[in-house]
């Protein structure tokens, strides 16, 4: 019995390390995945839903962007501009957050990564109380038409 148990433990350990290997081997060539960029670069500070970590949660921010911009492209363009060089003047979602959390630091990410993550953030928002826009508009496109 004892024997069987330790064997299982080893099996689990191997399983976990295999899983970790798979997860960390991210595809390089393809367009970046917004959720992945978020997990790696943003989730330290931003939770998706309240309660906040050290920055405002993503869903309320995204909803605010959706209220301000009729089109996803415009919202993304504005968000990317903020992410590249955050400033008080560019803060759109929550001016009080700057007082509460301090200004967000600029991130060293490529345009493609910023566009992908901004698109993902946008998709987390609710449009005018119509519920989570989870189904529609999920695709990331290639970002080609967004760089203005
Ligand atoms: C070191 C912590 C930190 C990291 C990492 C971080 N943020 Fe932020 N972010 C903040 C803080 C603090 C604020 C609120 C103050 C402000 O707006 O500058 C903020 C605000 C924002 C806003 C709101 C801007 C607005 O117009 O009001 C967006 C959108 C955002 N972050 C997206 C991201 C994304 C996407 C990433 C990852 C690519 C990211 N953040 C990484 C701390 C962080």
User: What is the per-residue pLDDT across 35-78, written as a single tens digit (0 to 9) for each?
Assistant: 999 999 999 999 999 999 999 999 999 999 999 999 999 999 99
Q: What's the pLDDT tens digit per position in 75-101?
A: 999 999 999 999 999 999 889 999 999
41-74 burial: b if 16+ Cβ within 10 Å, else e: bbeeebbeeeebeebbbbbbbbbbbbbebeebbe
Report the pLDDT averaged over residues 17-27: 54
* Whether residue 22 has pLDDT greater than 60: no
- Please work out whether the CB of residue 69 comes within 6 Å of at least one atom of ligand 1: no
Q: What's the CATH number for 29-124?
A: 1.10.760.10
Find the 43 Cα to ligand 1 centroid distance in Å: 10
Mean pLDDT check: name the lowest of 25-29, 34-38, 58-62, 135-139: 135-139
Mean pLDDT check: name the lowest of 28-37, 39-48, 127-136: 127-136
Nearest of 148, 97, 96, 143 to residue 118 by alpha carbon: 143
**Substitution site in 35, 55, 82, 105 for ligand 1 pocket (most atoms within 8 Å of beta carbon):** 55
Find the 2 Cα to ligand 1 centroid distance in Å: 51
What is the chain's alpha carbon radius of gyration, rounded to the nearest angstrom?
Answer: 19
Question: Phi/psi at 103 (nearest 5 deg)?
Answer: -70, 145
Question: Phi/psi at 70 (nearest 5 deg)?
Answer: -70, -35
């Amino acid at each position: 019995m004892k024997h069987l148990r330790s064997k299982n433990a080893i099996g689990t350990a191997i399983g976990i390390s295999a899983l970790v290997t798979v997860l960390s081997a991210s595809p390089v060539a393809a367009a970046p995945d917004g959720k992945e960029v978020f997990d790696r670069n943003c989730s330290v500070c931003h939770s998706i839903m309240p309660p906040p970590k050290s920055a405002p949660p993503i869903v309320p921010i995204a909803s605010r962007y959706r209220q301000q911009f009729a089109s996803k492209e415009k919202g993304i363009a504005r968000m990317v501009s903020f992410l590249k060089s955050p400033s008080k003047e560019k803060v759109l979602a929550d001016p009080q957050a700057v007082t509460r959390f301090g200004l967000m630091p600029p991130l060293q990410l490529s345009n493609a990564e910023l566009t992908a993550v901004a698109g993902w953030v946008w998709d987390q928002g609710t449009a005018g109380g119509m519920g989570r826009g989870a189904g529609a508009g999920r695709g990331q496109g290639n970002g080609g038409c967004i760089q203005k």
